[in-house]
Every structure is written in C-alpha cells, then in structure tokens.
Chains A and B, each alone.
Chain A
Amino acid sequence: MKITAPALAFLAVLGAAPAFAHHAFNMYENDRYVTLTGTVKTWTWKNPHAMIDFVTDPATGKTDTWSVECSSPNIIGRRGWSMDSLHVGDHLTLTLHPMKDGSKYGLMVSVITPKGATLKDKD
C-alpha cells in the first residue's frame, strides 16, 4: 500500500485528496486487507464514489451484507473500470480495507470479476 502517514496528514489538513476526494479515510484500517467472496446486490456507478453492496457466501451458514466504497468513477474509469464492469448478481472475489469500528463497510482495493479480470482501485 503506497498511501503513507504523510498522506494521511495531507488529507486532514489540505482537504481533497488523491483517490479519496473530499474525505479522509482514517476510519479505515488502511494496512489491513480483507478478501471476501459473494454476490453483488447493488452496483452504483456514480460520483462522488462508486459503491457496491455485496452479500457474502454463507461460509458458516450465515451471510453478511457489506457496503464497499470505491474511488470516484473519474479515477477508476481511467484504470479499466466502467459502468458495465459489474452487474447485480455477479459472483465476485473482492479485497477491501475494513472499518476500524467493525461495521460491514469497506474501502475497495480490488475485485476479480466473474470473467476472471482483476480491476484495481488502489495498489
């Protein structure tokens, strides 16, 4: 992960920031990566951030619903993503940074689409 401590300082002080425009991300565990498999419930390709709601596979008989925040379509649109990258019902593997407070909300790192393509949001 390339985002460094100085970058965090920058976010809070100068405001708008790379990849995380408009808000800081100190609510995420940015050095922790969680990989989940599951099914897309909603996919929103809209500013200021693309969003995925995602139902995990029932690993122990129970599912969880996660909301995953992606970067702006302006940013990930230059990295190979598009409105048609994902669809409701797609079965995916995705990697995210979880929230510090343990809620089922994460920051998108990368996703493997049903066709096997890897789409990266962050390094």
Chain B
Amino acid sequence: MTSIPRSLLPIAATLALVAGTAHAAGPAQSNPAKPKVAAGKTIAGMWALTKTEYDRHEAMPLTPKALALQETARKAREEGGAVLSASGRKCLPIGMPTFMTNEFALEVLTAPDRVTLLSENSSLPRSVYLDEAKHPGDIEASWNGHSIGHWEGRVLVVDTVGFNDRVGPVGNAGVHSPTTHLTERLYLKDPDTLVDEMTFEDPTYLTRPWVNVHSYRRLPPHSELWEYACEVDAPGWSERYAGDPEAKLPK
C-alpha cells in the first residue's frame, strides 16, 4: 500500500471526503459500499419484533384505579361491541410503548449525541438525547415522551418521562401516563438479535415496577424503511368497524 507523507494527510482526507460525497450523490450502486461499522456490532439497523418474545408477559401489578379502567374497556368491548379504540378511530399516533412493541419494522440510527428510532407504524420518531444529563424542567407531554440516554459499554440505557394522557393508560405492553417513568436497556443478545428490556414505574397505575422484555430480529441487509399511513377512509377500512356504536364513518 502506498504511504501518504504526513504533510499531505489533510489533503488526502479532503479528497476522501469529496470522493465520498460524489459517491453518495451518484447513481444507485449495484454493490453498495460496505458499512464502516460491521452489521452485527451495533444496534443501528433495521429490526422486526420477534413475536414469540412479545407474547411472554407476567401479570402487571395494577392499582385498583388501573383495574377499574381495564374493566370498563372490557365491558365496552364484550358487551358494547366496541371494535376500534378511540385513538384508532382518529388515527392518532401509537405512542410509547406500542412504538416498540408492534410488528412493523423499526429502524435504529446512532449518532454521537443521539439515537433515533423510527417505526413504520409511527409518523413520530423517538429521539434519545445522549448529551443531556437530565430531563429539562419544562417538558411538553407527548406521545413518545422525552428520552435521555447513555451508553454503559454496549448497552444503551434510556430514561423516558413526559408521556401525555392520550394513550392507554394501561395496555398489555405497559403503561403510558403523565406519571410513567420508563427505563429501557437496549443491547445485542447476538449479532442479529436486539433486546429491549423495559422497566415501567407509575404510582398511579402500578403497585411496583414492572419489567417487560422484547426482542427483535435483524432484517436482511439493505432492507428499506417503508411508508405506512393511517387512513380512516381507505377502502375496506370503514366496513370493519361499522358495527362499533361509536364509529363515525368518514364521508
């Protein structure tokens, strides 16, 4: 290999950058460049939920308030014919924790100061800020909450608060309320398996912390992130919940 004199290194680096830019802007390559970090050593990439893990749950330690809400929902469903949830009828964002626990593909992007998670089932990304030691004091309540994180070796630890009151608050995958505190540990169990250990704390709906673990399989190389839109007027959609007493069919 030809060595480059030390004095020319900055020029060489610039040329490499220019070359890289030209490559990126050029036509699609049949043999895409090898990623700098080998797949299998990073949580970055495209993932899909592994259903066998999803279905493994311990009973949630619910407070009387949460149990009463569950009973109301059960009655609406079994006795009132409710098919769609209120958020489903309105095409509202899925929010957390469903963001992480649905079967649509998930993309994880890592940068030095943040990790971004994209779900094909959500128009709202999740941003995990790695450069904030604590949550700001004026968080606006939101669907995905406010997340800060740090790396413990190869484990990404994510701390999330600031959920709104528009989802849940109690579901099979966890809780989502203004009093919810969610801690996640994201790591690779093996090169092609991502794990998300979620610990929920919520004095309103849980009597003690509750842990829920999901795993995801790595999608094949070069898998793309597909669009998905919630469309209440899509063909075949309205018929499905026509029997729901609360359904207002779009005109």
Contacts and interface: CB of A to CB of B under 8 A. Distances in A.
Contacts, number: 132
A22 B120 contact: no
Interface string B207-221: 000000000000100
A34 interface: no
Contacts of A11: 85
* Interface range, B side: 35 or more
A8 to B, nearest CB: 8
A75 B104 contact: yes
Interface in A3-51: 3-4, 6-19, 21-24, 26-27, 44, 46-49, 51
Interface stretch (B2-10, B69-77, B128-136): B69-77
Contacts of B236: 44, 49, 51, 67, 69
B230 interface: yes
Contact of A12 (B76, B103, B243): B76
B102 A16 contact: yes
B170 A74 contact: no
Interface of B: 48-49, 51-52, 54-55, 57, 69-70, 73-74, 76-78, 82-88, 91-92, 94, 98, 101-105, 120-121, 167-168, 170-173, 176, 219, 226, 228-231, 234-237, 240-241, 243
